[in-house]
Amino acid sequence: MEFTVQPRAALPNASSAPLLLCPSAVTSYVLPCVYALLSLTGLLGNALSLWVFFGRISAAASTPVHLCLSHLSVSNVLLSLTTPFLAAYFALGPVWSLGGFLCQLVLHFVTPVFHINIFMAVFILAWVALSRFAALVQHTHADGPGLRARLLPPRFFTCATRRRTASRVCAGVWVTGVGVILPCTMIYSIREAAGGAAGGVAHREVCYNPDVEIGGSVSASMVWAFLALFYLLYLMVLLSYAVVLRHIRQSRRNTTITTTQVLLGRVYRNIVVIQVVLSVCLLPYHIFKPIFIVLAHSQPQVPSGNNCHPLSNIVELKSCLLCLAALRGSTDPLMYFLLDKTFRRHTRRLLRCGRPESSQQKGESVTGRASQSAGQLGDGVVATVSVNFCD
């Protein structure tokens, strides 16, 4: 059964004026500016990242994690192409016609791309974390085989660091994201957000209205499944990082080699960086989303004054947290730069306008990569433990 916002005419002693969302300066001016900025920085940063992944890092030197991050960058580019429409939506949505082309474009194209990007980010970052956990635990024998078997299937530890596995994971994430999220967003945009446009309800005649921002019970029930999946992956990442951090602390106490301690310190730093990205950009929205659903579907629709919908401020907070989730698309290239030595080296060379490299720098032999495996491990969750662990 669809959830629809009741007009004030249905309430006793109320005027016939409909309930409208009343955006503040944050929604009308700040969010459009932020989305416009995210579009510019996201396109530049992720285009540079793709150039490094496909044009600078050779196929022989590319790791499975490079493959995963390149797919994430492609998704971020698609997101950056849609953020200008989000900027226009928040700036002009209160005057756009719900049946107009731009409003329908936001509902049927921008919304699916946005949520597919979030879905891919959660899955790919979780896979990167778990694959690095598998590599470190398996090849340093941290915590013994018993704990490994309890956390993840034994086969996971044998194939998690293979390029073929990473390719299959990325393909599966794309297929799942498009195949599951697209139908869900279509149900939202056709049945709930725009399905009643011909009904003559005044608040449905503009694009920025309660039905579009709140949705209905069908889409809300689907959101619960995605929330459960997000928290499952997030807890798995936290658990894997807890095991890795304990191993790092134990190794620090048991080693006297300075270089090894430095590398372990880099692992610790990189774990903190990727966990901060997940926690700051994605976690707040997923914490607030169930609260928003409960408030939207349980609170009586009594106007707060001036025909404003009582959830106008709550909707605005939800939009700000969703913008924070979109911020990750622009900050991911910085995360790549901080975490991966190979990506950092090639990015610096590229930003130097193609300064000639020495023959020693150009050569990336198998022997050279194997000798650098410890340094790659020091660069954390986006490095391969050893060339022998990849296809």
Q: Give me the pLDDT at residue 57, please.
A: 85
Highest mean pLDDT: which range of 13-17, 183-187, 297-301 = 183-187
Q: Give me the pLDDT at residue 128, please.
A: 84
More confident residue, 82 or 150: 82
Q: Which of 129-143, 287-301, 365-379 has the lowest mean pLDDT?
A: 365-379
What is the average per-residue pLDDT within 117-138? 82
Domains in the chain: ranges and CATH: 19-347+365-389 (1.20.1070.10)
List, for residues 226-284, the tens digit of each pLDDT value: 899 999 988 888 887 777 777 777 766 665 544 456 656 666 676 777 788 889 999 99
SS3 string of the chain? CCCCCCCHHHCCCCCCCCCECCCCHHHHHHHHHHHHHHHHHHHHHHHHHHHHHHHHCCCCCCCHHHHHHHHHHHHHHHHHHHHHHHHHHHHHCCCCECCCHHHHHHHHHHHHHHHHHHHHHHHHHHHHHHHHHHHHHHHHCCCHHHHHHHHCCHHHHHHCCCHHHHHHHHHHHHHHHHHHHHHHHHHHHHHHHCCCHHHCCHHHCECCCHHHHHCCHHHHHHHHHHHHHHHHHHHHHHHHHHHHHHHHHHHHHHCCCHHHHHHHHHHHHHHHHHHHHHHHHHHHHHHHHHHHHHHHHHCCCCCCCCCECCCHHHHHHHHHHHHHHHHHHHHHHHHHHHHCHHHHHHHHHHHCCCCCCCHHHHCCCHHHHHHCHHHHHHCHHHCCCCHHHCC
74 to 37, 110, 117, 276, 383: CA distances (angstroms): 19, 16, 9, 22, 20
Looking at the DSSP bridge assignments, the partners of residue 20 are 308
Q: How confident is the model at residue 349 (pLDDT cuts 50, 70, 90)?
A: confident
Q: Give me the pLDDT at residue 328, please.
A: 92
List, for residues 152-181, the tens digit of each pLDDT value: 666 776 777 688 888 899 999 999 988 888
List, for residues 209-229, the tens digit of each pLDDT value: 888 888 777 777 788 888 999
Tokens of 154: 């034994």
Q: Give me the pLDDT at residue 228, please.
A: 92
What is the average per-residue pLDDT within 19-39? 92
Torsion of CA 209, 210, 211, 217, to 10 degrees: 170
Share of the chain above pLDDT 70, in %: 69
Say how far apart CA 102 and CA 108 lie, in whole Å. Answer: 10
